[in-house]
Amino acid sequence: EDNKIKFIYTRTELDAYDSGVPMGRAELFIRDLEYENEKTGKRETLAEGKWKLRFDVQYENSSISLLKQPFEIETSAGTAKITEVSVSPVGFRVDGYYEKLSPAMQQRIDAFHKIDTGSDDNPKIPDEPHFIDFQTILNFKNGRTLDLQDFYLAEVNSSLSESYKRNTFVIAGTFESAIYDFSEMESITIGDITLPIEEG
């Protein structure tokens, strides 16, 4: 009965644009809107058609950096150094690299490289190794917590970039359709380190 559709499109840029989504004109092409029927579990067509949207991307960067200096955390993958942590009312980003990998993680990466380069004559496909095995929690002043792993591990409005050659990682995401004011946030906990969120 309602002919209005609320459509939300989110995008997280990691490698292509270090400074974020570039300013300018953006275009979005959409064809046939679908949704998942909760009762049947199947995808169904909501509206057929083609749409071409154009709009100007102009925004102010609302994120704040929480790091005064890099810090280290111990994980099962090794010793990780966190080099950047930022948060905004709509999302978060964590950058880092591994100064030292555990023997088990190094062995997994070496096995993965052999398959990737085709240098293993009798390959047994190993599980893809992942560096991100530490907690990342957003703490609110009212005692509520938000597990940011729910966003980047489930790949919901987020991106996870890991480089096995450089032992680096970047994790970033948006809070789905939620917007949180800085006055609601208290801190972000990464591993066993808690960083206070202080606006301005």
Each residue's pLDDT tens digit, 178-188: 889 999 999 99
| Average pLDDT of every residue of the chain | 82
Q: Are 159 and 152 in contact (CB under 8 A)?
A: yes
84 or 124, which is more confident?
A: 84
Alpha carbon distance 40, 19 (integer Å):
42
pLDDT bucket at 104, cuts 50 / 70 / 90: confident
Q: Are 28 and 53 in contact (CB under 8 A)?
A: yes
**Structure confidence by residue, pLDDT tens digits, 117-170:** 565 565 566 566 677 778 899 999 999 999 887 765 444 444 556 676 778 888
* pTM for the full predicted model: 0.70
| Range with the largest mean pLDDT of 114-123, 159-168, 171-180, 190-199 | 190-199
153 or 75, which is more confident?
A: 75
Determine which of 12-26, 52-66, 162-176 has the lowest per-residue pLDDT on average.
12-26
CA angle 108, 114, 115 (to 5 degrees): 95
Place of tokens 């099962």: 76
